[in-house]
Copies of this chain bind each other. A is one copy, B any other.
Amino acid sequence: MNAEFEKLLKLNSDGLIPAIAQQHDSGEILMMAWMNKESIDETLKTGRVCYWSRSRQSLWRKGETSGNSQKLKNLRLDCDGDTILLLVDQEGAACHTGRRNCFFYEATDKGVDVISEPIMSKEEMYGKK
B-binding residues in A (CB < 8 A): 1-2, 4-5, 8, 18, 20, 22, 26-29, 31-32, 41, 44-45, 74-81, 83, 85, 95-97, 99, 102-112, 115
Residues of chain B within 8 A of A97, CB atoms compared: 79
Bound-state Cα–Cα, A81 to B79, Å = 26
12 examples of A-B residue contacts, CB within 8 angstroms = A2-B111, A8-B105, A8-B107, A20-B20, A20-B32, A76-B103, A77-B112, A78-B104, A78-B105, A79-B96, A80-B102, A85-B103
Residues of chain B within 8 A of A109, CB atoms compared: 1-2, 41, 44-45
B78 and A31 form a contact (CB under 8 A): yes
Identify the 5 closest CB pairs spanning chains A and B, nearest first: A27-B27, A78-B102, A77-B105, A76-B103, A32-B83
Bound-state Cα–Cα, A27 to B106, Å = 17
On whether A78 and B103 interact (CB within 8 A), knowing A29-B22, A29-B29, A112-B2, the answer reads yes
On whether A75 and B106 interact (CB within 8 A), knowing A111-B4, A111-B5, the answer reads yes
A32 and B78 form a contact (CB under 8 A): yes
Bound-state Cα–Cα, A49 to B22, Å = 22
How far does the Cβ of A51 sit from chain B's closest Cβ, in whole Å? 13
Bound-state Cα–Cα, A2 to B112, Å = 9
